[in-house]
A and B are shown apart, each in its own frame.
Chain A
Amino acid sequence: MAHSTGSVTHLERHHAHHFKTAHEEFEACKQGMWIFLVTEVLFFAGMFMAYAVLRVLYPDMMKAAHQLLDWKKGALNTVILITSSLTMALAVSAAQRGEKQKIIRYLWMTLICAGGFMVVKYFEYAHKIHEHILPGALYQYKELTMAKVPLFLSVYFVMTGIHGLHVLIGMGVIYWLIRRASRNEFGPSYFTPVEITGLYWHFVDLVWIYLFPLLYLVS
């Protein structure tokens, strides 16, 4: 009963016994991921709220402090993440069609984009640490001595740090998918892990879509 819709056949997998059908299992898994993403939105909501409160209380400080960030690196990372969302979507479609080589190729491209994102992030962080553009009392940057600027950096490091952690976790999961895909585990009748990792990955992109203009382009 192996499928041969695509270029290769993939391994047969029987759905877990507590589901009536494979389709039911797929829908349940996907819904579980959506519910998890709800908790993720609320998790980030607290940080976005901290940002919003600072912006309302200290608009001038926020405007001055955002110039400490390099919007070009932020924009580059936006493009990188959008590209990784595209390749992730292509990987899901390839899995649905059972095109093993394409699944693997698109997943690698996604992983490379994610790595690229982290490299850019590394350069941003390294520069800030080197110049002492840091939160709280660690802030020792002489070019901008405006009051409360360290608060902006607290928000910046916490938000981008937690987002970066999501990227790192996503990279681990995508690598695991590549391993499974090379064992022929995914195809038209079973691609649940690719689908729900895709949802997670697009969510990571979603958060950055808001973070980029809020942190880098305050005006």
Chain B
Amino acid sequence: MSDQHQNHQHHILSNSMAFRIFGALIVLTVVTVGVAQIDLGALNFTVAMLVASVKASLVCMFFMGLKYDHKENTVIFSTSVIFMAIFMILTFGDLLTRGDVYVKDLSKIIPDGAVAASNQSKYEKPWVSNDELVSAGKTLYTSACVTCHGAEGQGNGPAAAGLNPKPRNFTAGEGWKNGRKPSQIFVTLTKGLNAMPAFGTLSGDDRWALVHYVRTLGPHAGEVDGAEDLAKAGVGAGGAGAAEKSIPVGVAIDLLSEPAGKPSEN
């Protein structure tokens, strides 16, 4: 067994070397603290990170023995640094290029309760059909709905084959799960149903437009919404139904950092 060890001699870090590395680390710590007292602007950060990296390299090479070890272990450990760099690049690539998204979305989300301009309905009563809504709905339908519901609205679009239950056949007057009143279809669109995702991120008018268009595909429907139906659908007088609130990162950070409920002035 000892023979094996003769063939693979372990490197033993000498005590004097260990003390020299220790001395270097202490000196570099003093440098770190010293440099922090001088204002070098943006350079401060760079210097601090450079010094820290020199210290880290000394620890890795000598105390952790990478200098004397197989290259393999250095390669293994380096991958973590590489992946950390990828992590940083992607995160900052995202963060630094979405500055104006925050600004745009802020007006939509805050103040609470107030539906921002883009969600305000153009119509006095968007739940009552009109030609403009129907034609807007047709355009939206062609882009967002045909793959499942089909061009004729028979629930036989190309993607319908794989779905069970089948997508709604808009040409049938019966069997609508949530009902066929405009407000009821509006709710289905907003919340989704079975395989259909929620389309709550569409503006209220867009959803109403789709509602009125799909109602033209089937037999004429006499049902009209009462005030109660509209209330159920979350539509207030004059409102089109707010687009769902999505919160961008910056706003979430703002909300998280509020000391108990007071809006910040920052």
Q: Are the C-beta atoms of A150 and B257 separated by less than 8 Å?
A: yes
**Measured CA separation A217–B260 after assembly (Å):** 29
Supposing A85-B59, A89-B18 touch, asked if A217 and B91 sit within 8 A by C-beta, the answer is: no
Check B97 for interface membership: any CB of A closer than 8 A: no
The main secondary structure of chain A at its interface with chain B is: helix
Across the interface, name the chain B residue whose C-beta is closest to A39. Answer: B80
Check A22 for interface membership: any CB of B closer than 8 A: yes
Contact of A82 among B4, B8, B26, B87 (CB under 8 A): B26
Supposing A31-B72, A38-B79 touch, asked if A71 and B257 sit within 8 A by C-beta, the answer is: no
**Measured CA separation A188–B10 after assembly (Å):** 9
Q: Are the C-beta atoms of A206 and B60 separated by less than 8 Å?
A: yes
Q: How many chain B residues touch the partner (CB < 8 A)?
A: 63
Q: Report B177 CB to chain A, min CB distance, Å.
A: 43
- A151 to chain B: which residues have CB within 8 Å? 253, 256-257
Q: Are the C-beta atoms of B256 and A136 separated by less than 8 Å?
A: yes
Task: Give the contacts of A173-219 with B (CB-CB under 8 A).
Answer: 188-189, 198-199, 202-203, 205-206, 209-210, 212-214, 217, 219
Q: Are the C-beta atoms of B4 and A22 separated by less than 8 Å?
A: yes
Q: Report A123 CB to chain B, min CB distance, Å.
A: 19
Chain A residues engaging chain B, CB cutoff 8 angstroms: 1, 3, 21-23, 26-27, 30-31, 34-35, 37-39, 41-42, 45, 48-49, 52-53, 56-57, 71, 75, 78-79, 82-83, 85-86, 88-90, 92-93, 96-97, 136-137, 139-140, 147-148, 150-151, 188-189, 198-199, 202-203, 205-206, 209-210, 212-214, 217, 219
Chain B residues engaging chain A, CB cutoff 8 angstroms: 1-2, 4-5, 7-8, 10, 12-15, 18-19, 21-22, 25-26, 29, 32-33, 36, 39, 44-45, 48-49, 51-52, 55-56, 59-60, 62-64, 69-70, 72-73, 76-77, 79-81, 83-84, 87-88, 91-92, 95-96, 250, 253-254, 256-260, 264-266
